[in-house]
Amino acid sequence: MMASKLLLLNLVVPALSEIAHGVFIPSTDSFLLPSPFQGDETVPTNGSTNFINTVTANASTNALLDSAINDTYYAFDEEFYDILGTKTPNIQLIETRKDLFAYEAGAWDYDKNQVWFSSCVISHPTYISILDLNTNDITTLDIPALYNINPNGGYYFNGTMYFTTVGNESVPNGVYAINTETYKATPIINSFYGEKYQSVDDLTWVKQGSESCVDTGPNLFFSTLDVRLFGVYGAAPLMLQDWVYRYSPKTRTVQGAISRSDIVSPNGVRRDATGRYLYVTGLAAPFAPTGSQGNQFNSSVVYRFTLDEDCVPIEKRLVAMVPSYADGLHIDDFGRIWTGEWEGITVRSPSGKVLGVFNREALVTGVGLPPMANFSITGDKLVILALDRVFVLQLGQNVTSAKAGTQ
Ligand SMILES: *[C@@H]1O[C@H](CO)[C@@H](O)[C@H](O)[C@H]1NC(C)=O
Ligand SMILES: *[C@@H]1O[C@H](CO)[C@@H](O)[C@H](O)[C@H]1NC(C)=O
Ligand SMILES: *[C@@H]1O[C@H](CO)[C@@H](O)[C@H](O)[C@H]1NC(C)=O
Ligand SMILES: *[C@@H]1O[C@H](CO)[C@@H](O)[C@H](O)[C@H]1NC(C)=O
Ligand SMILES: *[C@@H]1O[C@H](CO)[C@@H](O)[C@H](O)[C@H]1NC(C)=O
Ligand SMILES: *[C@@H]1O[C@H](CO)[C@@H](O)[C@H](O)[C@H]1NC(C)=O
Ligand SMILES: *[C@@H]1O[C@H](CO)[C@@H](O)[C@H](O)[C@H]1NC(C)=O
Ligand SMILES: *[C@@H]1O[C@H](CO)[C@@H](O)[C@H](O)[C@H]1NC(C)=O
């Protein structure tokens, strides 16, 4: 009895992992199809499609696209297999819950090897959970300072976790610093000259570099996005517009960094591993309908800016026109751009070619759920925040490193 009990205690339970499958779609199919064809117009963005639901005049093309629907990924370029290391990577379902607990952030504390993430803002109030990659345990935090004010995007920097809050009607939203030992949250930014920010969506710290942000010390960029557009409550009165701001602890200032006339609705903000570039996703707002108005005013895009010596974003460069919309993003140590999009997690080359997609149709199975917003790339693992589920997919390449701190 005793012996078998001990044996049970010592038993290493094998990880419940499964094999992920995928298909290869020629990238020429993205711009030349057997005609006539019909794109998928079921998504609420209108005018945007989920490519694999396209129906064409050619049965073998249709069979290929169809076969992708239940697959974990589809590749458009051989380089995607370099990332995966194999065509059949392991994917592990870590946890399923009844609520949408896994949606935003996905901030890697590489010192503890933990991923912090927040629940879905559509079913507010949001809260933060931590996936410990050493044990695969998920712990939900109880942080009184963040009750009802909807923590959203997160970023780990210099031993501290930072979260944005979307806010609510009565509490000014902004940026909080969270101690990773005590989980005490302290506001560090909540106003711009007495005005309340729109919902603060995302943030990224940029270190001082040799060409960029020279002598400025580290700078924090954060985006504000009026989430009331998406039927989410909260957010301050509409005094300030949706902007990207820059906070400099050294000069003790918050300044506008990217104006609304450059990006109507900034969402994800991210630096690359070198700190030379700042990437921003722009949302067609609000989920711009088709027609001249949508086309004229709003774009669903990923832009890259160069950071100059004063840490000012210059040289706006379009790196991707996103057919649906892009939310959280990460730049890996190879300069590849990973974005949470309607279709799933899309990986692009530094120049913008889609290399492959981790397929939302297979990863998010609940009917009517919002798309995946974010994820985390932690060395050679992809942590997928699939709303009511969290997966970890094993990559064949260390795409990020603690040293580069790109998370
Ligand atoms: C566009 O979206 C609206 C609202 O979701 C829907 O009623 C309409 O049918 C859509 N139009 C197309 C062309 O898909
Ligand atoms: C359909 O597409 C396949 C693959 O491109 C091609 O080999 C085949 O000839 C096409 N069939 C027809 C009927 O056009
Ligand atoms: C995908 O999976 C669903 C549910 O298991 C199934 O009904 C459907 O036939 C599958 N589609 C394809 C193309 O294999
Ligand atoms: C806003 O936050 C405050 C402070 O947590 C809370 O008292 C209030 O109930 C919240 N409002 C809503 C609508 O949740
Ligand atoms: C996406 O995840 C990163 C963490 O890896 C985080 O810094 C960022 O805030 C998230 N973006 C959004 C829009 O939540
Ligand atoms: C990092 O944090 C330490 C305190 O833990 C502080 O002394 C140091 O100035 C910080 N460095 C940067 C670059 O913010
Ligand atoms: C696009 O953005 C403009 C400027 O904010 C806004 O007035 C307009 O309603 C948006 N257009 C659509 C079609 O959503
Ligand atoms: C990633 O780096 C870690 C630490 O150096 C190493 O243990 C692991 O094998 C690497 N993974 C791959 C896929 O190379």
**CATH code for the domain in which residue 41 is found:** 2.120.10.30
pLDDT at residue 215 tops 70: yes
**Which 3 state secondary structure label does DSSP give 63?**
helix
Q: How many CB atoms lie within 10 A of CB 59?
A: 9
- Could you tell me if residue 104 is inside a domain? yes
Residue 288 has pLDDT above 80, yes or no: no
Helix, coil or strand: residue 12: coil
Q: Is residue 399 part of a domain?
A: no
Name the residue with the closest Cα to ligand 6, atom 1. 158
Instruction: Give the mean pLDDT of 79-91.
Output: 97
Cα of 84 to ligand 8 centre, how many Å? 13
What 3-state DSSP class applies to 10? helix
pLDDT, average across residues 48-77: 92
Instruction: Categorize the per-residue pLDDT at 253 as very low, low, confident or very high, splitting at 50, 70 and 90.
Output: very high
**Which residue's alpha carbon is at the smallest distance from atom 10 of ligand 3?**
70
Provide the number of structural domains found in the chain.
1
Close Cβ partners of 319 (under 8 Å, ≥ 6 residues apart): 279, 302, 303, 304, 337, 348, 350, 351, 352
Q: Where are the beta strands (DSSP E) in 141-265?
A: 151-157, 160-165, 175-179, 185-189, 200-206, 219-224, 244-248, 253-258
Ligand 7 center from residue 298 Cα (angstroms) = 6
Distance from C-alpha of 163 to C-alpha of 143, rounded to nearest angstrom? 12
| 346: nearest Cα among 51, 107, 95 | 51
Q: Is residue 79 part of a domain?
A: yes
Neighbours of 176 (CB within 10 A): 24
403 occurs within a structural domain: no
Residue 57, CA distances (Å) to 33, 60, 62, 234 in order: 8, 9, 8, 47
Q: How many CB atoms lie within 10 A of CB 240?
A: 19
* The token pair that represents 267 in the structure block: 């969402």
**How far is ligand 3, taken at its centre, from the CA of residue 63, in Å?**
12
Asked, for residue 228, whether it belongs to a domain, the answer is yes
Sign of the four-CA dihedral 374, 385, 188, 166: positive
Domain boundaries, position 133: 5-394
For residue 407, being part of any structural domain is answered with no
In a domain, 406, yes or no: no
Q: How far apart are the first and last CA of the chain?
A: 47
Position 8 pLDDT exceeds 60: no
Does residue 10 carry a pLDDT above 50? Answer: no
Q: What is the pTM of this model?
A: 0.89
Whether 108 maps to a domain, the answer reads: yes
Q: Is the pLDDT of residue 109 over 50?
A: yes
